[in-house]
Amino acid sequence: SGLIGRSWAMVFAAGGFKVKLYDIAQQQLTTALENIRKQMKEMEKSGVLKGALSAEQQLALISVCTDLKAAVEGATFIQECTPENLELKKKIFGQLDLIVGDSVILSSSTSCLLPSKLFTGLKHVKQCIVSHPVNPPYFVPLVEIVPHPETDPSTTERTYALMKKIGQSPVKLNREIEGFVLNRLQYAVISEAWRLVDEGVISPTDLDLVMSDGLGMRYAFIGPLETMHLNAEG
């Protein structure tokens, strides 16, 4: 029920889904609910609340739970949002593997841990997938869907359809790769930015301006491949 978990809860509630927010500490859950209520009320007041339901209707869809088995009872989709710690994530998926049925999807929010490191050896591995959001998911719609080598294609398709339904912008990776796609593109840009500043070509301030007042404005609307396609004379 940290930052990512709260944001996911809001996204799913905006899509009209019943959400159970799980954590090991009751105080953490109480704080999370207070934070969600405050954010939703502020967004409703500003006219930027997502979904067709009112803030109160969305808040009524979110409940909290400190018992994992009770939290996932009747669930069709489970989105894990624990800290970026491989052993912790493996522990929680190991626990889930023992209590879920054969139809629920087990999804991770990890930004860099490979599905093969997270899910290998689980009895429900065919139902496991990474759904990597961009922080915060409520305001940035992209979700990278990354399968384990043994993930059933139907798991990928169902996850993709769910993300579309709740208003996110899912992209499917055909296979797992270190850094996924968003971070690989980001790392390439960061690497060249360091190089240009380090070699004295440009100041850090001006380097950032190249992105914020140049490339960034273009890439906010179209990607690099579309840019090349639409350039002068094709």
User: What are phi and psi for residue 178, nearest 5 degrees?
Assistant: -55, 130
- Condensed to tens digits (0 to 9), the pLDDT of residues 12-34 reads 999 999 999 999 999 999 999 99
Q: What is the mean pLDDT of the chain?
A: 97
- For residue 232, the model assigns a pLDDT of 78
- Rounded to an integer, what distance in angstroms lies between the CA atom of residue 119 and that of residue 93? 7
From 30, 47, 66, the end of a domain falls on 66
The DSSP letter of residue 190 is H
Give 69's contacts (C-beta < 8 A, 6+ positions apart).
99
Does 60 lie in the same domain as 99? no
Query: Cβ distance 17 to 166 under 8 Å?
Result: yes
- Condensed to tens digits (0 to 9), the pLDDT of residues 172-200 reads 999 999 999 999 999 999 999 999 999 99
CATH of the domain at 213: 1.10.1040.10
Q: How confident is the model at residue 233 (pLDDT cuts 50, 70, 90)?
A: confident
- Which residue segment(s) compose the domain that 90 sits in? 67-177
- Rounded to an integer, what distance in angstroms lies between the CA atom of residue 188 and that of residue 69? 42
- For residue 231, the model assigns a pLDDT of 84
- Which residue type occupies 50? K
Query: Cβ distance 99 to 107 under 8 Å?
Result: no
Does 166 lie in the same domain as 77? yes
Does 59 lie in the same domain as 129? no
- For residue 94, the model assigns a pLDDT of 98
Does 118 lie in the same domain as 21? no
> Considering only CA atoms, which of 217, 190, 194, 214 is closest in space to residue 204?
194
Beta strands, E only, the chain: 19-22, 62-65, 77-80, 105-108, 128-133, 142-147, 169-172
* pLDDT(73) > 70: yes
- Condensed to tens digits (0 to 9), the pLDDT of residues 78-128 reads 999 999 999 999 999 999 999 999 999 999 999 999 999 999 999 999 999
Does 122 lie in the same domain as 36? no
For 132, the token pair is 């990597």
- Condensed to tens digits (0 to 9), the pLDDT of residues 32-55 reads 999 999 999 999 999 999 999 999
- For residue 234, the model assigns a pLDDT of 57
Does 85 lie in the same domain as 161? yes
- Rounded to an integer, what distance in angstroms lies between the CA atom of residue 91 and that of residue 207? 42
From 36, 66, 96, the end of a domain falls on 66
SS3 of 59-105: HHCEEEECCHHHHHCCCCEEEECCCCCHHHHHHHHHHHHHHCCCCCE
- Condensed to tens digits (0 to 9), the pLDDT of residues 116-164 reads 999 999 999 999 999 999 988 999 999 999 999 999 999 999 999 999 9
- For residue 131, the model assigns a pLDDT of 98
Does 80 lie in the same domain as 127? yes
CATH of the domain at 74: 3.40.50.720
Number of domains in the chain: 3
Does 125 lie in the same domain as 75? yes
Does 137 lie in the same domain as 194? no
pTM listed for this prediction: 0.94
Query: How many secondary structure helices (H) and strands (E) does the chain include?
Result: 11, 7
Does 126 lie in the same domain as 52? no
Does 75 lie in the same domain as 173? yes
Does 47 lie in the same domain as 31? yes
* pLDDT(171) > 80: yes
From 34, 66, 98, the end of a domain falls on 66
CA dihedral 4, 7, 8, 14 (to 10 degrees): 180
